[in-house]
């Protein structure tokens, strides 16, 4: 019986949930409903931005929406397998500048704030998306 307090203390210090699987980023943003909400807010941000909107003037918004939802799902360890065009195929010929790329990141952050994604989760999402930067900016 004298080991019981020690066991309880160890359990508290280690979190007692070592066998509980960690939720994916996709689950942490609310799964498909959360991804849809985020992408819809992002599209609104783009639609209200006079600098970035021209990049999307020839885009099919519903195609972009569905593709980005699936891409986020895949990138954030959800149950999706994105099979669409890669970032190079999508952005070739768009002549996206570093400034414009950074502006789009700001719009995504605005959208994440708008839908209530905590900053720690936002940072993890941005870290997953950041490696694609070199495939998007072509100077």
pLDDT 10s digit of each residue in the chain, 139 long? 455 555 554 555 555 555 556 899 999 999 999 999 999 999 999 999 999 999 888 889 999 999 999 999 999 999 999 897 767 677 766 778 899 999 999 999 999 999 999 999 999 999 999 988 888 886 5
CA distance linking residue 102 with residue 51, whole number of Å: 12
Boundaries of every domain in the chain? 38-135
CA proximity to 137, closest of 109, 103, 101, 89: 101
71 appears as a binding residue in the annotation: no
CA distance linking residue 26 with residue 80, whole number of Å: 10
CA distance linking residue 59 with residue 47, whole number of Å: 12
pLDDT at 3: 52
Pick the CATH number of 38-135 from 3.40.1160.10, 1.10.490.10, 1.20.210.10, 3.60.130.10: 1.10.490.10
CA distance linking residue 65 with residue 39, whole number of Å: 7
């Amino acid at each position: 019986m004298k080991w019981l307090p020690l066991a309880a203390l160890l359990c508290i210090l280690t979190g007692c949930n070592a066998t509980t699987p960690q939720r994916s980023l996709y689950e942490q943003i609310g799964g498909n409903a959360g991804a849809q909400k985020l992408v819809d807010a992002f599209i609104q941000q783009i639609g209200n931005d006079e600098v970035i909107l021209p990049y999307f003037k020839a885009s099919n918004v519903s195609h972009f929406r569905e593709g980005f939802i699936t891409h986020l799902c895949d990138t954030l360890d959800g149950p999706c397998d994105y099979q669409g065009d890669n970032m190079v195929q999508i952005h070739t010929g768009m002549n996206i500048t570093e400034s414009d790329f950074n502006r789009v990141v700001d719009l995504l952050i605005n959208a994440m704030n708008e839908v209530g994604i905590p900053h720690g989760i936002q940072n993890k999402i941005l870290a997953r998306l950041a490696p694609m930067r070199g495939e998007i900016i072509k100077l």
